[in-house]
Amino acid sequence: MLEILDASKFKLLKDINYSWPPSYRLTFEGNAILNLQRHLLLEEITSFVSNQSCCLPFFREREQEISWFNIATNADELQGIIQSLRCWLLPSYGWEDERGWIVTKELGVTGLSQEILTMSPPGYCRWNSKQADFQLIVKKLSQMRFLEKAKPEIPPNGPPPLIQIRQQFVTALVAGDKTSSEQAIRLVDTHQLDTADNSLFMWVRFWFTFGEYGKIVKHKDMHRLAQLRIPTIIKHCILRAFYFECLERFDWDKDADSILASYKLDVETVVGGLVRNSLPEYGIEALRLLACHAITKSIPDLAARLISFGDISCLKSRLDSTMTQLSDQEQSLEEQFWNARAEKNWVRLQEVGVTLVAEDPESYFTLLRQSIKFNANSELSNKLDLLESKASSQSSSPRAKLSALPWSRWIGLNGSFERRRDLPLNSEPSWPNAIH
């Protein structure tokens, strides 16, 4: 007989017990289990009652399937469970739940899922199997426990591998375990397992996840970080942090002047480049930042792209004014291309360059190819490959044509080449001047 002293555990066991086949059902007397001694799930139920990680089933008789859930007391246990399940059971004997197999509080769960989360604060694993494999899975679970108990207690000889620490970090973030995720970063810093910038990326994700936006906005290296090629998820964290910290407090229905003044002073000066190279599809925060950028920098084409989006509120009239500012002096595509290059606006450069390179590959091919390093664009890359292949079939690729041009027509620009616009394409080089 095993007594269950916790009322919530007793309720959860009773709620799943009714789904079990009669031969596996538990018999309760008061808050105690009578028939547990020879039960197939003896070890799992005992661990559950003892506040240890465990795996329990919910039988779905109609589908002839079992819904399993693995619970853990902290993020490290949850990470260990995930690894063990993938080594022992998935996908050979079961499959991850299609609704999402890691369940956390952020999903707004109710009912039985909410009961499980009270036992497993960092979240729990949810997976399925066929009922016919029940005894085989129980045997595997028993073997997993036996092997875990037989593992000798050897003190660590150094830090765990970096990939393991990163997995612990991501799992802790998903589970909302602030202590465990911070320990993972400090472990990387203490043992210098990664570069300072990569460590800073982890801190940015940590601060953003737990709402410490001020630490991102006021970080001494933020201006330098914004000039680097950074992962998209870090870019999103930084942009949203600046929005929440600097702009969200304003009334977006009427405080246009205050919003634009704060953007120009607090956002543009630090992460203007990240805003410029973001997309409205990133979310409402990026959309509103882009609207501020289009207005403060007077960019009509960007204003025209954003005007159709909602959630811009009081800035819509300002975008309308920005769109009409250059109506009398429309820029040519070539001017838009070179302006985008000067501003390092790779998104706009690629949009305009697709049209220009088809007409004049010699002038635009190289810059467009190199812009893909800063803004991945598979569609453009395919078009450039096709253009290069077509030119090669005519015994002269765009790159070969570039090499064949007189070198005085080209000047280096930050590792790329740009045609000197003060010389016509058919002019002859002035070798003495070029040498000097």
DSSP annotation string for 419-435: E-TTS-TTPPP-HHHHH
* pLDDT at residue 300 in the model: 82
pLDDT at position 421 over 60? no
Q: Which residue has the higher pLDDT, 399 or 364?
A: 364
High-pLDDT (> 90) share of the chain, %: 33
Indicate the pLDDT class of residue 38, thresholds 50, 70 and 90.
Answer: confident
Q: Which residue has the higher pLDDT, 387 or 432?
A: 387
Indicate the pLDDT class of residue 136, thresholds 50, 70 and 90.
Answer: very high
pLDDT at position 436 over 50? no
* pLDDT at residue 339 in the model: 82
What's the rounded mean pLDDT across residues 40-64?
Answer: 92
What's the rounded mean pLDDT across residues 308-323?
Answer: 77
156-168 pLDDT per residue, tens = 677 888 888 998 8
15 closest CA partner among 119, 89, 160, 105: 119
* pLDDT at residue 408 in the model: 38
398 closest CA partner among 361, 372, 368, 364: 361
* pLDDT at residue 143 in the model: 93
User: Measured between alpha carbons, how far is 283 from 259 in angstroms, rounded to an integer?
Assistant: 18
User: Measured between alpha carbons, how far is 331 from 340 in angstroms, rounded to an integer?
Assistant: 12
286-290, 321-325, 347-351, range with the lowest pLDDT: 321-325
State the average pLDDT for the chain: 83
What's the rounded mean pLDDT across residues 289-307?
Answer: 86
**Degrees (nearest 5) of the Cα angle 98, 100, 102?**
140
* pLDDT at residue 182 in the model: 94
Q: Which residue has the higher pLDDT, 308 or 178?
A: 178
222-278 pLDDT per residue, tens = 989 888 888 889 999 999 999 999 999 988 888 888 999 999 999 999 998 899 888
Query: Could you write out the three-class secondary structure of 7-63?
Result: HHHHHHHHHHHCCCCHHHCCCEECCEECCCCCCCCHHHHHHHHCCCCEEEEEEECCC
Indicate the pLDDT class of residue 107, thresholds 50, 70 and 90.
Answer: low
**Degrees (nearest 5) of the Cα angle 337, 340, 346?**
105
* pLDDT at residue 243 in the model: 94
* pLDDT at residue 108 in the model: 63
174-221 pLDDT per residue, tens = 888 899 999 999 999 998 889 999 999 999 999 999 999 999 999 999
Q: Which residue has the higher pLDDT, 327 or 153?
A: 153
User: Measured between alpha carbons, how far is 363 from 23 in angstroms, rounded to an integer?
Assistant: 78
* AA identity, residue 270: V
pLDDT at position 46 over 50? yes
* pLDDT at residue 417 in the model: 43
